[in-house]
Amino acid sequence: MATPHQGLSMSTSRDKILITGAGGMLGSYTDFGIQTTRDTLNVEDLAQVRVVFAKHKPSVIFHFAAATNLVECEKDPPGTYRANAVGTYNVALAAREVGAKLVYVSTSAVFDGKKEAPYVENDIPNPQNHYGHSKYMGELVVLGMLPDAIVARTCWMFGGGPDKDHKFIANILKQLEKSKIDVIGGKRGSPTYGKDFVETLVDLVEKGERGVFHVGNEGAPTRVDIAREIVKIAGAKTEIVEADAAVFEKQYPGAGARGNESIASTKITLRPWQEALQEYIGTEWKGLIK
């Protein structure tokens, strides 16, 4: 099995790698290539995508731009499909026109959550919400248009440090002064460190891989497990109390309906999530935890 390498050296010239959505969390771990953000490249605008790709003539594209806030995606289905399905079609079409290899970031939300074990690459997608549907549509577009493409499904991404991490782990870290924190339990997922994720994508490109890959740190914890590991790593005394997932589902219909979200791969192996989480907190949050 392949393992992510250390560093980001690539056989492909770095100035020929174009990254969409580089202003987001994953962009924190790309110190190479042509960095584009929504301000410089709106993937929903096909004409603009074509112009930018024709100008730079990239040989590889890391397509990070996406709508990923689950609650907001369920509130705004049209916007979700424009960003994740239409936007991905535009990127895939322009990639084909310039002959670039496309690496598309997808999600475990393409599955229905009913499987007890982690989902692997050949499990059949069956999305249950707008976010999952929109990302699966992106997968179908990419695989249908670009036989050489890579689809990298991931789950519960974390990273970016205090400036760019606005998700679960950052929320827990910012509340460690409390005596207790209520955390939704039940679901299992695969916490994935953005740094490990990007390094793995680079490794797959270097090796000339293609097809679908599940890219997540090893393990399938609940959010309660993760929160308690954060408390342990930070040396805090906060009590983590498991809350009822049904409360979240009642507040945000459709956003919390899926059960198991964890993934595993039959092709690659990443380090355990606990090890990745410890590095993340110890480096990117060093000195910031009270």
Q: How far, rounded to the nearest angstrom, does the alpha carbon of residue 66 sit from its chain's CA centroid?
A: 10
Q: What is the pLDDT of residue 10?
A: 46
The model's pLDDT over 55-113, given as tens digits with 9 standing for 90+, comes to 999 999 999 999 999 889 999 999 999 999 999 999 999 999 999 999 999 999 999 99
Beta carbons of 216 and 192 less than 8 angstroms apart:
yes
Write down the pLDDT at residue 1. 37
Q: Does the domain spanning 14-282 belong to CATH 3.40.190.10? A: no
Average pLDDT over residues 213-226: 96
Q: Which two tokens stand for residue 223?
A: 């959010």
Is beta strand 150-154 parallel, antiparallel or unpaired with respect to 101-107?
Answer: parallel
Confidence class for position 2, pLDDT limits 50, 70, 90? very low
pLDDT above 90 covers what percent of the chain? 82
Chain segment 254-264, per-residue pLDDT in tens: 555 557 999 99
* Model confidence at 5: pLDDT above 80: no
R_g of the chain, CA atoms, integer Å = 19
Beta-strand (E) ranges in 84-196?
Answer: 101-107, 150-154, 157-158, 180-184, 192-193
**pLDDT at residue 254, rounded to an integer:** 52
For the chain, the average pLDDT equals: 90
Task: State residue 259's pLDDT score.
Answer: 78
Q: What are phi and psi of 89, to 5 degrees?
A: -60, -45
Q: What is the band of 16 on the pLDDT scale with cuts at 50, 70, 90?
A: confident
Percent of the chain with pLDDT over 70: 89
- Cβ neighbours around 20 below 10 Å, total: 29
The per-residue pLDDT for 4 is 38
Helix axes of 223-234 and 273-284: crossing angle, nearest 10 degrees: 50
Give the tens place of pLDDT for each residue, 158-216: 999 999 998 899 999 999 999 999 998 878 999 999 999 999 999 999 999 999 999 99
Q: Would the pLDDT of 281 be above 60?
A: yes
Task: Note the pLDDT tens digit of each residue in 232-246.
Answer: 999 999 999 988 766
**pLDDT band for position 8 (50/70/90)?**
very low
Domain boundaries, the chain: 14-282
User: Cβ neighbours of residue 278 under 8 Å, at least 6 residues apart?
Assistant: 233
DSSP conformation letters of 252-263:
STTTS------B
* Mean pLDDT computed over 205-229: 96
pLDDT of amino acid 6: 38
Tell me the two tokens of residue 6: 């250390």
- pLDDT score for 3: 40
